[in-house]
Amino acid sequence: MKVRDVPPGRLLSVDPGTTLAEVARRMRKENSDSAAVMSEGQLRGIITERDLVSAIADGVDAQEAVADVIMSANPATVRADEEVAVVAVKMMRLGIRHLPVVDEKGSPIGLLSAHDLVGVLERGSTGKRSKQ
């Protein structure tokens, strides 16, 4: 199975100067657990719920810009033609739960999460998705 066969998560994007507080509000509003940090149409980084929780626990000012304090710069990405099993191993090896899906030009077109992969595996083993 290829990444293109997995329904991608919505890609929320923010500018590098967006504050942590604003990112948190937008993630809640959009029901997203991560955001791509974009500048001039290019992927510059990613920020996740885990990043936000760590920043708050470390006392980072919520008015700081994401690019200045917690953005994971130059994140790993995945292409739509990659095998899901290979991507799952890549996520485990890197210790990450979110990968931007990029097109042939490197522009983000979606987001793949560990949750998405578990859903694919669950449907593959049972033929349908659990209601939990």
Does the pLDDT of residue 130 top 70, yes or no? no
Question: Which residue has better confidence, 132 or 88?
Answer: 88
Spatial distance between the Cα atoms of 96 and 115, rounded to a whole number of angstroms: 12
Where do the domains of the chain lie? 3-126
Look up the CATH architecture of domain 3-126. Roll (3.10)
**What pLDDT is recorded for position 128?**
46
Which pLDDT belongs to residue 129? Answer: 43
Question: Can you give the pTM of this predicted structure?
Answer: 0.81
Q: Helix, strand or coil for residue 58?
A: coil
pLDDT digits (tens, 9 = 90+) for 39-81: 988 899 999 999 999 999 999 999 999 988 888 888 999 999 9
Which carries the bigger pLDDT value, residue 94 or residue 130? Answer: 94
Angle 84-94/114-126 helices, nearest 10 degrees?
A: 140
Q: What is the pLDDT of residue 122?
A: 72
The sign of the dihedral angle between the CA atoms of 29, 16, 42, 75 is negative
Place of tokens 């500018």: 15
Any residues with CB less than 8 A from the CB of 132 and at least 6 apart, and which?
Answer: none
Band of pLDDT at residue 38, cut at 50, 70 and 90? very high
